[in-house]
Chains A and B, each alone.
Chain A
Amino acid sequence: MTTTTLAGINVELNDEGFLVDPSQWTEAMAVELARKEAIEPLTERQWQVIRFMRSEYLAKGTGPSVRVLGKTSGVPIKELYQLFTKGPAKTAAKIAGIPKPKGCI
């Protein structure tokens, strides 16, 4: 666990770099979280996935897996991996300030 400042707000990140308290997240923070993942600037298509991850998390309490993302976000799996080369669900969740999605598939 580390404490850092993102977009002017003091936040805690877990060992994998996920925001500990999702309620602290702001869109300005997403830009800085994306920079840590070497994504800069965020494209509109990446924003679409990030916002979708966040709304799913707020509605269901957990972020979707890559498979569910591919079926429901409107962005196919091939493109998801182009947008987030280090794993779409994991990376988009991190930038969206929500916990890493669980599940094996």
Chain B
Amino acid sequence: MSDPIEKVSIIISKGSLEGVYPGLIMANGARAEGIEANLLFTFFGMEAILKKRQSHIKVATVGNPGLHMASVVGALPGMSALATHMMEQKMDKLDIPSIPEFVEMISDTGCGMYACQASVDLFGLKKDDFIEQVEEIITVGDFYAKAAGGEIIFT
């Protein structure tokens, strides 16, 4: 049998619903398996941990071939909200938590949560703009130090 994975550090870089959930699911799943986990939110991925934004994350309806919807249709006002609403209804039926609930739950599992310093500077944010579960704003160097000895997954 191969050596089991002991530690993962997952980077979430996208701010769409389909960009945020996979990283959250992987982090939560890692903790459920007893694997140490860290989450680093960078660029638009930070939407998931910003107090004002985390409840308003939407499905990307433009430039998303998987939706099988012409981009001109996806660009119509309200399309993204509609697609998000439909997706959220399905998720609710499957008992998949909303992003705010999921992030809080993952923090409770003992997963480390960090925001990227460069992105924070770029968007002119402060520590106070983030939900309380975010432990620190860290540099890329800090991230590699925290990720030492484990796998790194970029999403």
Question: Which residues of A are at the interface with B, using a C-beta cutoff of 8 A?
Answer: 15, 65-68, 70, 76-78, 81, 85-91, 104-105
Contacts and interface: CB of A to CB of B under 8 A. Distances in A.
11 contacts: A65-B32, A66-B28, A67-B95, A77-B108, A77-B109, A81-B108, A85-B34, A86-B34, A87-B31, A104-B25, A105-B95
B108 A78 contact: yes
A67 B97 contact: yes
Contacts, number: 43
Given A70-B105, A90-B34, A81 B110 contact: yes
A81 B111 CA distance: 11
- Say what secondary structure dominates the interface of chain B: loop
B109 A104 contact: no
Contacts of A70: 105, 108
B108 A91 contact: no
B63 interface: no
Interface in B19-37: 25, 28-29, 31-35
B96 A81 contact: no
Contacts of A66: 28, 31-32, 109
B143 to A, nearest CB: 23
Contacts of A87: 31-35
A70 B28 CA distance: 13
Nearest to B35: A87
B1 interface: yes
A89 B108 contact: no
Contact of A105 (B1, B25, B34, B110): B25
